[in-house]
Amino acid sequence: MSNDEFITIAKVVKTQGRIGEVLVELFTDFPEKFEERRTLFAWLPGGARRELKLEDYWPHKGAMVLKFAGIDSINDAEPLKGSELQIPAGDRTRLQDGSVYVSELVGCAVIVAGREIGKVADVDFGAGEAPLLVIKDAGKKEYLVPFVEGFVIKQDLPGKRIEMQLPEGMLELDAPLSKKEKAQQEGER
């Protein structure tokens, strides 16, 4: 399988403990699936993939500690540092209707009023009620657009395309001030 056929669910941050445990940063909203998902694949920093059998796991200070079969010392765990822990794409958890994975949104062209304004580079969940699409155009301009049902006209995730209708002026919110606007602001001081 190619790397495109796998989904990264965690990244090994460091070794943890004396008997081969590793501390991981989670990229999944479903850590409870470790109970049934016992086979993981480590995509090692050198580009090789290694199959691992999960023996145990537990939360630790906002992260997760994993213990794999055959990884029984710090020296055994050391080569896993920096690796991405993955599952086959077909094994990922099914979402409720209307929900999408961030990985499905990243790379989508965003079309507004018939023109492409850029591609989704990331999704920001910490800005309020709705997640914000971080859209970058070829010139490296960045737009932050709420990903809400009322703005989406059509989404073709396999075709990597999202058509949106945005309130007038939304894309100009982060635009630099014109000379006239700067002069007006200076006059208000």
More confident residue, 82 or 122: 82
Measured in residues, the chain has a length of 189
- Which neighbouring-strand residues pair with 67? 56
SS3 sequence of 44-68? CCCCCEEEEEEEEEEEECCEEEEEE
Residue 91 phi, psi dihedral angles, 5° rounding: -95, 0
Q: What are the chain's domains?
A: 3-90 (2.40.30.60), 102-167 (2.30.30.240)
pLDDT digits 0-9 by tens, 121-180: 988 877 677 888 899 987 778 888 898 888 999 999 889 999 999 988 888 766 555 667
Predicted pLDDT at 175: 56
Residue 61 phi, psi dihedral angles, 5° rounding: 50, 50
- Which neighbouring-strand residues pair with 111? 116, 163
Q: Is 1 a residue whose pLDDT tops 50? A: no
d(CA 67, CA 107): 34
d(CA 142, CA 133): 10
pTM above threshold 0.95 = no
More confident residue, 114 or 178: 114
